[in-house]
Amino acid sequence: MEKCDYKENVNAKFLSTYRGGGNVRYVVYPTTISMVRKVITFATSEGFPFFILGNGSNTLIRDIGYNGIFISTKCMDKVSIYANNLYSCCGVNIKNLYNIALERGLSGLEELALIPASLGGLVVSNGGAFGREISDLIVDVDVLDLATLEVNRKKASEIEYAYRSCSLKDKYFVIGVRLKLQNADKDSIINRFNECKTYRQNTQPKESSLGSVYKRDGYIPAKLIDSLGLKGFSVGGAMVSNKHANFIINKGNGTATDYIRVMEKVESLVLAKFGVNLKREIIIV
């Protein structure tokens, strides 16, 4: 019988890139989809809530913690390549995926490589950077229906994509993804990656954060926030970054409550001044 590794009472600093928040009662680390099925079946039968966790780069865990099960995808990390197609399981880090593609002289992931996400998380959020979204590369996605626990393959044409979202979100567990990449000279791939890396280093903070807090929706959140002089505004250990106003950083001892209070202040002031309801990109658990 398959055995699934798990941990109890795991602190959020090990699960969320914000490095703050409460404890999660159970974190399980399945390696196969059959294990995922068993965990979901157990959680449902025992009345435990469950949450699917990738790299935790947009996930804030409240200070009260989570009395349920996090299903971590980090051990679902197999990758295979044939011709220009790359098939990856959901738990593979995007930077690692870029390195694998680079070794084969395959281009397409350069703009996405420094997004601190797993592939599954990037797909359900239709993550992107520098004018490229992961949906631009998807051929098909293998998914587990969270309601029926049936496995299906969704062609790209069957998935509805939106800005930082897609129709798979909250309905399916992404098992693996097939991406269509292009042959290219390795030097050109590296040069493009370095261009993106330099830009990110110059414009985004290095401190622990959850990346962009708010979505673009006909406006640029950073400009609205910056125009109100909110760079540097802080509550406890959470602060609006001085480098990029759409980032809330952890100064070292920030709690989830600190982060939420900074968000609430920013949102109320932007609404009062511009009549804009900022749309959150992060997930609060």
Q: Which residues are catalytic?
A: 164, 212, 281
Question: Which pairs with CB-CB distance under 8 Å and at least 24 residues apart come from 85-89?
Answer: 85/139, 85/178, 85/179, 85/180, 85/181, 86/178, 86/179, 86/181, 87/176, 87/177, 87/178, 87/179, 88/119, 88/176, 88/177, 88/179, 89/119, 89/175, 89/176
Amino acid at the residue 84: N
* Sheet strand arrangement including 5-11: 5-11, 23-29, 66-72, 50-53
Give residue 54's Cα distance to chain centre. Answer: 7
